[in-house]
Structures are given as C-alpha cells and as structure tokens.
Amino acid sequence: MLEKIMPFKKPIYITRPILPDLNKVVEKLTKIWNSKWLSNNGYQHNLLEKKLLKYLKVPFLSLFNNGTTALITACKCLDLKYEVITTPFTFPATPNALIWNNIKPIFCDINPKTMNIDVDKIESLISTKTTGILAVHVFGTPCKINRIEQIAKKYRLKIIYDAAHSFGVEIDGKGIGNFGDITMFSFHATKLFHTCEGGALTYNNMDFNKELALLKNFGIKNENEVILPGLNGKMNEIQAAIGICVLEYIEEEIYKRQILYSAYKNFLNNIEGISFIDELPNVKKSYQYFVIKINEKNFGKSRDYIYENFKSYNIFTRKYFFPLCSEYPFYKNLPSANPKLLPNAHKIVDEVLTMPFYGELYVEDIENICKILKSFRNS
Ligand code: T4K
C-alpha cells in the first residue's frame, strides 16, 4: 500500500536567510547609533570590506547597496558600449544592467550541462560593435573561464562575471572573484551570504578602486569637484553590520547545506528523468541552490506539473530562470533573441527546478520532499 504523505505544516521555501543572534545585531546597532555614522564609508563598511577580501580571496573589492547597481556600475567602469554578449538564462538584473548603460544585449545560447553561456557559440556573435562579454556563473557553476579569456584577448573585449550565486566558489583554490575584469556578487537576503540587500565588485586592477569609489558616490571627487556622472551605489552601515554578523554563521550554514545536498543526491539517486548539474572536480561549490532537471518523457510528469503540485504540500519551489530574458517583451524582438538561435536555453528553461535548500531544514524534510516528488510520477 502507498504511504500517505502529509503536507508540511509550515510553508517550505527554496531558501531562508541566515538570521544572526538578535542580541549581537543590537550590539552592533548600538555602536552605530553611538557613532552617529550611518553611511558613506563608515567603520562597519570598511570592516566588512576587509573581512570579505579575505573570505573571497581577492585583491580588491568594492561594496554596493545591491548586486544590480554593482553590475550597472561595473559596465560603466569598463566603459562598455554598443553591444555586449550575454546569456538569456539568468535573472533580469543581468541584461537589464546593460540596457541601463545603453548597451544592446546580444544573447548567446547556453551549454545544457552547466547552463552557462556556451563558449563555442560566442565568437559567431562578435561584431565590430561588441565591447564585452557578460557571463553568469549560473547556480554557482563556474563558466569556462580560460576559453572566455582567450576569446576576449583575441577580440579585445572586456569580461564581467555575474557571480550572484557564487559566494565562496573557488577554482583550484582561487576565489571565483579573481577572473575577468570585474566580478559581481549579490548579497541579497536570499543569498548564502547576505546584507539584507547588498553586493560587491571584485577585480585585480587597483585603478578601479578610485574609479568605482567615484562612480558609486555621484562622481564626487571632493567638496569642490564632481568629475563623473556617478550614481548612489553605497552600502550603508546597517547593511554592513548585518553582513559582519552573518559572516560568523557562514561555515555552519555551509556545513548544514552540505549534509542536505548529499541527502538530496542520495534520495533522488537513479530516478529516471531526474538529473543534477554536473559537479566539477577542481571547484569548491557555493551551496547556494539545489537544482534538479526534470526530463518529462523519462519522468512521466513535466517540471510545471511538479512545481504546481508541490504547492498542495506547502512546498514552494522556483522555476529559475523562467521565462528566459530573451522572451521578455522588451528583448524578444532582438535578432539574437530568436528561439531558433537559443535551442538549449529554451529546452533547459522548461526542465529546471530550484528545490528547498537552507540550513534550517532537516534530512527528514528532504526525505519527505523527495518522497512527494517520487509520488508525482505515479499520480
Ligand atoms: N544576477 C543574478 C544571476 C541574480 O540571480 C541576481 C539576483 C542578480 C544578478 C541581482 O542581484 P541583487 O540586485 O538582487 O543583489 C530573488 C532575489 O531577490 C534576487 O536577489 C536573486 N538574484 C534571485 C535569484 O532571487 P525572487 O524574486 O525570486 O525573490 P523572492 O522574494 O521570491 O524570494 C525567494 C524566496 O526566498 C521566497 O519564496 C522566500 C525566501 N525569502 C525571500 C526574502 C526576500 C525569505 O525567506 N526571506 C526574504 O527576506 O528574487
């Protein structure tokens, strides 16, 4: 007889933020209150910057009020113009950052295994107007960094990596923020490491320190000179203080997620039609998301069926990144948005499901989620 599986009592989301001990947060807030310094390169801001330089193993880092502003500013800093090659399989922030710089996104298809930009299709999209490549390390899997660098060198293009999902990822022990010209991290509440809202840019070029400081502070050089059309991208003291508190919990959260990650793999092992993103041997993972791919033909039910039916069990998965950016009304008429040119992206976007994954969950929760998933097959 089939075991009856009960819905979860409380809603299960794909993620929940690390919430530090409130007393510790109040302690920090008291310090900020006493200092009467709330933003503009305060003590907490500078302390978080130092801690993140070390954690991310990067030479230079600039904090921002969110990842999207950071990305917009990165394009400006590199003086990107005209056309930039990017992926349609990402969050709207990626191509939108280009549009906010008056740059046309040129969508490139993805590799179906990694879900990252397909490096073999980049060169055919390069024109005399191309000034850069904006690639995303989707779900924390690093792009083919060496190949992208070769192409960029050959055509004199700049590289920005969107590492919104890649906090703590390393390749052969090297922090993911060391590659390309600039890398962007998001510290939104849904991210493994967060500052409620926040982000950072990392880079190897020391000159960007000055340039970015100007660009994220209205272009103000001093009280008498404004030398660039900057915006306001600064991280405030409260965001930074939250980040410092959250950082204390990061290793514990990663440890818990490692256990849940193995549990998922174990419970979903050898189920026809369910597969995972390939793990790369030289890569330290992010433990940001747990993502599965559902092949409707082999599993017997579609991704959308699973997504909808999970809801009646109080489980709220996500269809990241549906719809593809190339399908947004304001991008879909671009020649590069033609679905015929993006076959892998169109296939993958209907198969991917982001599952509940955060340290508060127990292995038994994962077991139940997997049982429910398996039960859909026979329903
Ligand atoms: N590039 C890429 C590749 C990105 O994925 C993102 C952001 C960016 C750039 C831009 O970075 P930021 O400017 O955001 O720093 C969420 C996040 O808002 C967004 O940061 C993230 N990517 C994206 C993948 O996920 P939504 O619209 O899916 O979030 P929401 O509100 O539906 O939250 C998802 C689940 O998280 C909820 O069902 C419950 C849980 N949650 C959420 C919040 C906000 C909580 O438990 N607590 C919370 O405070 O975009």
Tens of pLDDT, residues 77-95: 999 999 999 999 999 999 9
pLDDT over threshold 70, residue 1: no
28 ligand 1 Cβ < 6 A: no
Alpha helices by DSSP H, 66-156: 67-77, 93-99, 145-155
Cα–Cα dist 260/364, whole Å = 10
- pLDDT at position 3 is 66
Per-residue pLDDT tens over the stretch 115-169: 999 999 999 999 999 999 999 999 999 999 999 999 999 999 999 999 999 999 9
Using the predicted structure, report yes or no on whether residue 285 has a pLDDT greater than 70: yes
- H or E segment to which residue 251 belongs: helix 250-267
* Structure tokens, 375: 């039960």
Q: Which of 363, 269, 352, 366 has its CA nearest to residue 306?
A: 352
In sequence order, which ranges of 160-225 are alpha helices (DSSP H)? 207-215
Residue 255 has pLDDT above 90, yes or no: yes
Burial 321-347 (b: 16+ CB within 10 A, else e): bbebbbbeeebeeeebbeeebbebbbe
Asked if pLDDT for residue 2 goes beyond 90, the answer is no
Ligand 1 center from residue 99 Cα (angstroms): 21
Nearest alpha carbon, ligand 1 atom 25: 190
- With pLDDT > 90 as the criterion, what percentage of the chain qualifies? 96
CA dihedral angle for residue 48, residue 54, residue 58, residue 60, rounded to 10 degrees:
40
At 225, is the secondary structure helix, strand, or coil?
strand
The mean pLDDT value for 4-14 works out to: 93
Residues in the chain: 379
Q: Whole-angstrom Cα distance, residue 213 to residue 230?
A: 9
Say yes or no: CB of residue 66 within 6 Å of ligand 1.
Answer: yes
Mean pLDDT of 272-288: 94
Q: Is the CB of 88 under 6 A from ligand 1?
A: no
Q: Report whether residue 16 contacts ligand 1, using a CB cutoff of 6 Å.
A: yes
Q: Is the CB of 96 inside a 6 Å radius of any atom of ligand 1?
A: no
Buried b (16+ CB within 10 A) or exposed e, 289-308: bbbbbbeeeebebbbeebbe
- pTM for the model: 0.97
Q: What is the pLDDT of residue 379?
A: 81
Give me the helix-helix angle, 237-247 and 22-35, nearest 10°.
Answer: 150
Instruction: State mean pLDDT over 59-65.
Output: 98
What pLDDT was estimated at residue 342?
98
Section 281-304 average pLDDT: 96
pLDDT number for residue 378: 82
Looking up tokens 């490549």 gives 133
Please report, rounded to a whole number, the percentage of residues in the chain having pLDDT higher than 70: 99
How much is the pLDDT for 121?
98
Overall average pLDDT of the 349-355 stretch: 98
For atom 38 of ligand 1, which residue has the closest CA? 13
pLDDT band of residue 44 (cuts 50, 70, 90) is: very high
Query: Where is 32: in which H helix or E strand?
Result: helix 22-35
**According to the model, what pLDDT value does residue 5 have?**
85
Average pLDDT of the chain to the nearest whole number: 97
What pLDDT is attached to residue 155?
A: 98
pLDDT at 208 over 60: yes
In this prediction, residues 174-191 reach a mean pLDDT of 98
Paired tokens of 338? 């033609």
Q: 163 in helix, strand or coil? A: coil
| 3-state helix/strand/coil string of 340-379 | HHCHHHHHHCCCEEEECCCCCCCHHHHHHHHHHHHHHHCC
Q: Is the CB of 311 under 6 A from ligand 1?
A: no
User: What type of residue is 50?
Assistant: K
189 C-alpha to ligand 1 centroid (Å): 7
Calpha distance 62→64 (Å, rounded): 7
